[in-house]
């Protein structure tokens, strides 16, 4: 029996987040079939099973509970393709790192979409307060450098988030267009304050434009998940 390892990525149709990349990691013992062919067949079988599971509207959160089912169905599928397994071990199944980041961003957007204009304004004021506290900690030189990049950061933030937030809020809250517009303008102003502190010429002095939290490196905020 020859052992092989697999780490395959499957596009999974989640009921809440639509298509996200899901990784399946494991190993198998082959009693019949060439290793490379067997690996491809196993990966195709996993994709087929996950597609069936997604059609049942199973959340990505519940995929670990489907491992037993996957282990039961894979051997029969691969056998029809000339591969027989002596063992099959699926160690993990879940969203890829990229999918996790996407889920975090969408979760934050969905939470904001459910907020009333007053709650959204309060969140914006809190973000602005935190950003101002971080700004006051910078040296005059760092503040001057930040001001040069603030306008670019503000425009980028609005480009990436304004339309999505406006649409989601309008659909979810049922508020008047004027109230929603006012709340979003306040949020944009807070984002502008955070953006002014976003770049100091050093990665350690970068702040999230959404909540004002200092960056610890990486592409997303460690506090709220927003893109930096």
Q: Structural domains in the chain?
A: 2-95 (3.30.479.30), 99-205 (no CATH)
C-alpha triplet 205, 101, 218: angle, nearest 5°? 25
What does the alpha-carbon distance between residue 152 and residue 121 come to, in Å, rounded to a whole number?
Answer: 23
Can you give the pLDDT at residue 140? 87
What does the alpha-carbon distance between residue 167 and residue 175 come to, in Å, rounded to a whole number?
Answer: 12
Give the model confidence (pLDDT) of 183-210 as tens digits: 555 555 544 554 444 444 433 445 666 6
What is the enclosing helix (H) or strand (E) of 88? strand 84-95
CA-closest candidate to residue 151, choices 195, 104, 181: 195
Dihedral (CA of 9, 12, 14, 18) sign: positive
Global pTM reads 0.54
- Contact at 8 Å (CB) between 63 and 93? yes
Give the model confidence (pLDDT) of 118-172 as tens digits: 888 888 888 888 888 888 888 888 888 878 887 787 778 777 766 655 655 554 5
pLDDT band at 6 (very low <50, low <70, confident <90, very high): very high
């Amino acid at each position: 029996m020859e052992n092989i390892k697999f780490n395959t990525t499957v596009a999974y149709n989640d009921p809440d987040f639509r298509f996200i990349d899901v990784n399946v990691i494991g190993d198998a013992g082959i009693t019949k079939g060439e290793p490379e062919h067997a690996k491809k067949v196993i990966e195709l079988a996993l994709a087929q099973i996950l597609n069936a599971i997604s059609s049942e509207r199973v959340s990505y959160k519940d995929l670990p509970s489907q491992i037993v089912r996957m282990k039961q169905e894979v051997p029969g599928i691969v056998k029809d393709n000339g591969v027989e397994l002596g063992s099959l071990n699926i160690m993990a199944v879940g969203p890829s790192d990229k999918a996790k980041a996407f889920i975090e961003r969408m979760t934050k957007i969905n939470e904001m979409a459910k907020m009333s204009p007053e709650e959204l304004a309060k969140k914006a004021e809190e973000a602005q307060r935190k950003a101002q506290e971080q700004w006051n900690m910078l040296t005059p030189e760092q503040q001057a450098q930040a001001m040069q990049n603030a306008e670019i950061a503000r425009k980028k933030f609005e480009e990436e988030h304004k339309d999505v937030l406006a649409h989601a809020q309008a659909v979810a809250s049922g508020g008047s267009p004027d109230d929603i517009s006012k709340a979003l303008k306040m949020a944009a102003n807070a984002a502008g304050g955070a953006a002014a502190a976003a770049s100091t010429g050093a990665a350690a002095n970068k702040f999230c434009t959404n909540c004002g939290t200092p960056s610890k490196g990486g592409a997303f905020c460690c506090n709220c998940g927003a893109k930096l």
